[in-house]
Structure 1
Amino acid sequence: MLTRIKQVALSFTPARYLRGTKYVGAGAVIFDPGGKVLLIKNRLRNSWEYPAGGSDGKESPLETCRREVGEEVGLHLAHYRLIAVDFWHKLTPNGNLLFTFAADVSAEVAATVTPQKLEVSDWRWATRAEAMELIAPRLRPRLVELFDAYDTDKPVYLNTGHPVI
């Protein structure tokens, strides 16, 4: 029995262990007091999005969200709430897990947005209707669900932007 356990343990090579590894990303939909949402225009993709990006090392999704929001728009917010987890199977071989958080900011904080010029070519506070028009088409189904999760205070599980449960 012990020999079999050793064989199984030794069979877990780094390649085998990592074969199911998923990319993890996180971001935030940030609302001002008037209910407008912060959008950034990603310089590399030339598309409107909400602040988000990939995890570095051993970061948790919330740590990733905080870092990305800080890097991309200069906001260092203390309070976020999870509103969605989205599994995208088409972006990488093993799929992506994308965590989206929500935050509310005061008018004073909203006025301090400082976009990082390397990644962000433009930014704005947009109404929900404007956001739906501007945002990258691949993100529209997700954005509808994010707004609903924010409004109802009920996190949602998505598969490629569409609700599963």
Structure 2
Amino acid sequence: MAREYRLGVTRKVANAAVKLLVGRGIPIAGRTGWLLTTTGRRSGADRTTPVNVIEVGGDRWLVSPYGQVGWVHNLRADATARLRRGRTRETWEVEEADAATAGPVLRAYVRKIPVTAPFFDAKLSDPAEAFAAEADRHPVFRLARSRA
């Protein structure tokens, strides 16, 4: 059974360190690390969290390996993703993927960022269909249109 994500003290400290490094442009996780800023769905305030953006099939994807976290809800309310790494800033409109589309992306994500594997029931050797079965627990968003 997949591990459940909990934002404890250790993870908060790790996120703060990653935010500092990525914000300064220092590569994390093989240049997939970015800071994602969304607009809070209730507060309207900016919310920033470290994420990994991967490329699959010529498209760029945001994956939530830890499930239905805050930034997922925020993107569903306002489909604008602002990405930052060092001095590089990008603004994108996002589209949430259906399960069939998400399966291969989730599989590629776990292979590229294996530290997230314990949060999935599907194993690295499983086919994309096994990952598609978990798409409702691990939302996937395609970076659709640049708003630069």
Asked if Structure 1 and Structure 2 have the same fold, meaning a TM-score greater than 0.5 normalized by the shorter chain, the answer is: no
TM-score (structure 2 length as normaliser)? 0.27
Which of the pair has more CA radius of gyration?
1
TM-score (structure 1 length as normaliser)? 0.25
